[in-house]
Amino acid sequence: MLAFVGLGLYDERSITVEGREVLAEADRVFAEFYTSKLVGTTVADLEDYHGIEIELRDRAGVEQRPGPVLDAAGSGTVAFLTAGDPMVSTTHVDLRLRAHGRGIDTRVVHGTSAATAAAGLTGLQNYRFGKATTLPFPDVHGGVPDSVLDTLSDNADRGLHTLVYLDIRADEDEYMTAATAAGLLADARGDGLGVAVARAGSPGPVVAADRCSALADREFGDPLHLLVIPGDLHHLEAEALRELAGAPTDLVDVD
C-alpha cells in the first residue's frame, strides 16, 4: 500500500489527524521536498514530533529511480510525504500510476493547500479565481514568460483573480519573494493592485494589498510567499482587502 500524505502548509502540526494516524501505522516513510517545502519545521522535527524515520528522496530518487519506494510499498505500508496537498505535482501522479501498474493499492490523504488558503486569507472568493500560474526566477526565462502574462490577461478579461505561485529552488534554499514578483509584474504588464501573502498556514501570515510597485518596495519576511492579482472585486472582497490587508481605498473602490 502506498499512501500519499499531504503535510499541509507550514509545520509538523499542519498535517491532518488522519494523516498522523497513517504515519503512525506506516512501515516506512518517504518524503520529497523538491516540489515544495515546509518552512516552519525541519525533517528532524517532523521525525521527532511524529515518532517516525523519514527517508528523503530527491527528484531523481522519485522520477528516475522510484524502485525502492515501490518495492517497499509492494511488501508493506508506505507513506509518501509531500508539502501541501499531495498529487499537485505531476511527479506524484507519475509515481501513483507506477504503483497502480504494479498492482499496489494507493490512497491519497489530503493536506491543506496554498490554493485555497490564499483565497481564505485575502478574503477573495475562491470561485472568482481563474487559472493559476507560476512565476519563474527571471534568470530562467530572461523575464516574465508570455504564458504568465497570457494567464493574467485571460483572467483579467473575465474579471477573475489570479493566484501566482512563486518559484522556489528548495535545494538552494532560494525562494522568490512577493516583493520581487510584484516588481517583475509591474514592469512587465503595468502597475496595478496586487496582494502579497506570506507564510500562509503559519500562526503569523502577512497579507498586504497595494499597487504592485509599492509591494515591490516592501519586506514580507520569511518564505513562502504568494502573490494574488485580483480581478473585479465584489464589495465584500474590497472591504476585506481594505480592512484585513490595508489596501488603499482608491485602489479597491467598487460601486
Cα 44 to Cα 216: distance, rounded to the nearest angstrom: 35
77 or 125: whose CB is closer to a copy of itself?
Answer: 125
7 or 216: whose CB is closer to a copy of itself?
Answer: 7
164 or 179: whose CB is closer to a copy of itself?
Answer: 164
> Which pairing describes strands 193-198 and 225-229: parallel, antiparallel, or unpaired?
antiparallel
C-alpha cell at 224: 513562502
C-alpha cell at 40: 516552519
**End-to-end CA distance of the chain, in Å?**
55
75 or 126: whose CB is closer to a copy of itself?
Answer: 126
H-run or E-run covering 33 = none
Cα 124 to Cα 136: distance, rounded to the nearest angstrom: 24
Nearest distance, CB of residue 67 and a copy of itself, angstroms: 19
121 or 212: whose CB is closer to a copy of itself?
Answer: 121
Q: State CA 18 to chain mean position distance.
A: 21
Nearest distance, CB of residue 132 and a copy of itself, angstroms: 5
Nearest distance, CB of residue 213 and a copy of itself, angstroms: 26
Nearest distance, CB of residue 218 and a copy of itself, angstroms: 21
Nearest distance, CB of residue 20 and a copy of itself, angstroms: 6
Q: Using CB under 8 A, list all residues that contact a copy of itself.
A: 4, 6, 8-9, 11-18, 20-21, 84-88, 90, 93-94, 96-97, 100-101, 107-108, 110-113, 115-117, 119-121, 123, 125-134, 154, 158, 160, 165, 200-201, 203, 205, 234, 236-237, 239-240, 243-244
48 or 173: whose CB is closer to a copy of itself?
Answer: 48
Nearest 5°: the CA angle 246, 181, 126 is 60
Nearest distance, CB of residue 82 and a copy of itself, angstroms: 10
Sequence-distant (6+) residues with CB within 8 A of 157 are none
The radius of gyration of the chain's CA atoms, rounded to the nearest angstrom, is: 19
